[in-house]
Structure 1
């Protein structure tokens, strides 16, 4: 399919831009760190005495759950960015 007149030629690609992928990666890392801190703090508030294992589990579970949730959002947002870019190119 030839490009429409007046539009710059750009080969079709399903990959989002490098900046968008880096931003998504950074968001997943920051989400995991924040979740780990929240999990650690929740266990720290509720536990007294020797709490190394529960604190570690709270840190791990909080980090994994929030990083997983952030990655799901990133996977949904990245294709939408490509679609928005395509719509802007058409206008």
Structure 2
């Protein structure tokens, strides 16, 4: 996913374009706030139609792979649990 940043500038209502005491206009580059603003998006499944919700019966010791692509901003991490504990491939 792309991150977007925008610059926020205080805008003046029309007719309020007065000069500061030092002769600069209020909307001069020295007054621009260039702090990036990030947009966040909740995690979501990118291909829910491809996620089978069937019971998979395989012989013990065989490998089963689940493809559950997800996205969001920031990019989500997926954690698998077995009996409430983190499950990793080496725990088979």
TM-score by length of 1: 0.30
Larger proportion of strand:
2
Structure showing greater radius of gyration is 2
Larger proportion of helix:
1
